[in-house]
Structure 1
Amino acid sequence: MNILNFFMTGFIIGGIGTCLGGLLSIFIRNPSDKVVSCLLSFSAGIMLSIISFDLLPKSYEVSGFFIVTLGLCSGLLIVFFAEEIIPFKKINKYAGRKQDFFKMGIIIMVSLSLHNFPEGVALGSSYVYSRSIGIKMGVLIAAHNIPEGMTIGVPLIMAGVSPLYILLLTLLTGLPTAFGAVLGEVLGHISEYFIGFCLSAAASSMLYVTVSKLIPEADILHKGRIKSVFLLIGFICGCYLSFAS
């Protein structure tokens, strides 16, 4: 494949899963606070398991403690920077609680974009090494991204974002995968330290969103135990996705 084909393949694989997740979230119509609490808890469980069993273990394996620590600190700074430069308060359409949900969805999108770039690098370099391995990895990445797309879509639905924009935003998360796939193809094998840095940066940004946005918001919406059950279900689903890859 030429570079354009690698770009388009990476974009489709990276975006199709999150777009499907966003599509699933669109079917949620006027949910109760209890339902939203459970969905947010489910999303939080998925993200916690991906951080624990996918991102950080792989990052430590390929790069070591120093690079992982640098990536963790950088990922948090990137999210803080994104919160500062994105003019949430100037978007008058989303006020009060809606703005909180809108901000949550966008920050999750930024975090997942950090995650998708090294996935794209792995996709491109593995395809160069073996076509069959590259295809298998592409299928796994697409499946992996479906619940991640829901974590973006659910808060945006609660903010009142139109379905078309939700699909567009979840599809755009495929762009980092596309650029990563091109880089992986051009370089064949990129520095493992860089991969570890990207993975740990994604881990810290996702951890920030989970513990400071998703879980607290779920607790505010509903005080019952059912949200904890959905947190566990999400965690188990994330474990399956991590170990399946």
Structure 2
Amino acid sequence: MEPFLLYALLGGLFTWGLTAVGAASVFFAREPSRKLLDAMLGFAAGVMLAASVFSLLVPGMEMAEAQGKNPIFPAVVGFLLGGGLIRLLDRYLPHVHLGPKDAPEGLKTLWRRTTLLILAIALHNFPEGLAVGVAFGAAGLDPTGAATLGGAIALALGIGLQNLPEGLAIAWPLRRVGIGAGLAWFYGQLSAIVEPLGAVLGALLVAQMMALLPYLMAMAAGAMVFVVVEEVIPESQAEGNGDLATFGVMTGFALMMALDVALG
């Protein structure tokens, strides 16, 4: 296996693993408070926003410039395409969001609510895995040096940290409706199994389409920002803990920014 593919796979497995750690909170005797969950979701949103900017958009624009292209065009086009792709999936893939009163979205199906909830989180997690793969592929193959291994590691670490509350957020609602702790954990971690797959796919796309790398990085960023704005931030503020969630966003953004500078 090529080193960049191995690194991408390991990065995806790492982010999946921290989702499993978060989901393992169902084995504790008590459910974490809603305030803590909202702060953690806000933190996750901040990490994803900073990762989109500092680990994907900025290196992508630097690559485009090194290739003699206008850096703005690939960034804008790729960013909007990435968000548009997730919107299409959101429109047609059957799923349901975390709120207990949320109605199923996408094409009509007879699938159970549990399955639809897992699909919603999987839809959320796939662009994260794709972003990790693109970052490691760019670090391993980009001749301009704009993307670095440290930056890719920072991205994987940041996404892994924000996956902790995601695992918690899917496992506990299942536990609350009477599903056993072991099965709730299984479903919680299962929602992130797409991340290693997305990471390998992202790295393979980079290997096959080096000329389009600035677009691919911007697409990964656009996909993540769409998920943050459409799902993570609204969910973090749905129970009246807006100030706490906003502080979490600021903290997550600052930490990811510092990680990217320190490791990149």
TM-score by length of 2: 0.72
Q: Which residue of structure 1 aligns with residue 8 of structure 2?
A: 10
After superposition, what is the alpha-carbon deviation per residue over 1:190-240, rounded to whole angstroms, capped at 9, x for unaligned? 22xx12111111222211221222112211123363323222221122112
CA 1:196–1:151 in structure 2 vs 1: closer, same or farther (change >3 Å)? farther
Do structure 1's residue 146 and structure 2's residue 166 form an aligned pair? no
**Contact 2:45 2:228 (8 Å CA) reproduced:** yes
Instruction: Provide the rounded CA distance (Å) in 2 between the counterparts of 1:7 and 1:48.
Output: 25
Offset of 1:159 from its aligned partner? 4.3
After superposing the two structures, state which structure 1 stretch, 39-48 or 137-146, moved more. 137-146
Supply the distance in 2 between the matched residues of 1:195 and 1:72 (Cα, whole angstroms).
Answer: 12
1:38 Cα deviation from its structure 2 partner: 1.0
Larger fraction in helix: 1
2:92 to 66, 85, 96: 85
Seen in structure 2, the aligned counterparts of structure 1 residues 180 and 104 have a Cα distance that, compared at 3 Å, is closer
Please identify, of 151-160 and 197-206, the stretch whose mean Cα deviation from structure 2 is larger: 151-160
Counterpart code for 1:222: G
Query: For residue 215 of structure 2, what is the amino acid of its counterpart?
Result: F
- Structure 1 runs not aligned, ≥5 long: none
- Aligned residues: percent identity? 19
> Which whole-Å CA distance do the structure 2 matches of 1:53 and 1:124 have between them?
18
CA contact (8 A) 1:102 1:159 kept: no
Match of 1:173 among 165, 170, 195: 195
Over the residues paired in the alignment, what is the CA RMSD in angstroms? 3.3
CA contact (8 A) 1:70 1:197 kept: yes
Letter in 2 for 1:60: M
| Count of residues paired in the alignment | 230
Cα distance in 1, alignment partners of residues 19 and 87 from structure 2: 24
With 230-239 and 102-111 compared, the bigger mean Cα shift is at 102-111
How many angstroms does 1:22 deviate by? Answer: 0.5
Whole-Å Cα distance in 1 between the matches of residues 242 and 234 of structure 2? Answer: 13
Structure 1 SS opposite 2:167: helix
Cα separation, 2, equivalents of 1:56 and 1:70: 11
The alpha carbon displacement at 1:81 in A equals: 1.5
The CA deviation at 1:46 is 0.7
Instruction: Tell me the distance in 2 between the aligned counterparts of 1:65 and 1:106.
Output: 31
Cα distance, 1:112 vs. partner?
A: 1.0
1:68-83 matches, within 5 Å, as 68-83=75-90
The one-letter amino acid of 1:228's match is T
The reply to whether residue 237 of structure 1 matches residue 235 of structure 2 is: no
Structure 2: runs of 5 or more not aligned: 65-70, 96-103, 175-182
Out of 226, 232, 257, the residue aligned to residue 214 of structure 1 is: 232
User: SS in structure 2 opposite 1:116?
Assistant: helix
Aligned CA distance change for structure 1 residues 181 and 123 (closer, same or farther; 3 Å): farther
* 1:59 correspondence with 2:75: no
**1:118–1:199 Cα contact (<8 Å) kept:** yes
Distance 2:242 2:138 in 1: 41
Counterpart contact for 2:51–2:257, Cα < 8 Å: yes
- When residues 168 and 228 of structure 1 are mapped into structure 2, their CA distance, relative to the original with a 3 A threshold, is same
